[in-house]
Amino acid sequence: MIELRREQDVFILHMNNGENRFNEAFISALNGALDEVERFDGAAALVTTGEGKFYSNGLDLTWMMGPECGAPQAFVGQVQGLLARLLTFPRITIAAINGHAFAAGAMLALCHDFRVMRDDRGYFCLPEVDINIPFTPGMSALIQARLQPQVAHEACTTGRRYGASDAVASGIVSEACSEAQVLQQAVARAAALSGKTSATVGAIKRGLYAQVTARLLEADVALSGLG
């Protein structure tokens, strides 16, 4: 479900599990790949991408409500731990958004330093208002930290689906390009920034997002905030 490869100084993390919804196995695999990138001794940056028409559609709510999950509230805490980790990851990170990025999948994209989006298909969307699931305090803090105030307000209160051109205009993504160029462009941007010292990058991000990560890592996560 997760493939990790390295092209010179860029690690490419490929999520290839259909809609790439978050369940325990998926989160564990993502963290395992991040462990490998973090342990690497040398210049490196990270690009993440999905497959087909999906980057990630967020939480696997069917799995969460089934017997295999057992403790949905604890799992939301695991997801927020992953978001906090990626937000402060000690490498430059770029999301190559190849298709739909919805709900927690959109939040995952927001945790990257930069985002490149496919211009002919796929939406960035925070649909929680339409499925009657409020954001947790940590998720709200993340969205407010990574989007301009009016954009965050509109995205959260209307559930608007942003296509690539609107996402660029709103500052949600850095640029949009064709399907064939999304990953290539993200890798090129990552390669240009791969020489940044990891310890310094990590320290800067932890300083910038100390309040956000504190909210994401709070022990008590309300079930009403599933995304």
SS (HEC) of 164-182: HHHHHHCCCCCEEECHHHH
Q: Give pLDDT tens digits for 34-45.
A: 999 999 999 999
Q: Give pLDDT tens digits for 144-180.
A: 999 999 999 999 999 999 999 999 999 999 999 999 9
Q: Give pLDDT tens digits for 77-128.
A: 999 999 999 999 999 999 999 999 999 999 999 999 999 999 999 999 999 9
How many Å separate Cα 189 from the centre of its chain? 17
Q: What domain range is 131 assigned to?
A: 2-225
28, two tokens: 């564990």
For residue 111, what is the domain's CATH number?
3.90.226.10
- pTM equals 0.96
Domain count across the chain = 1
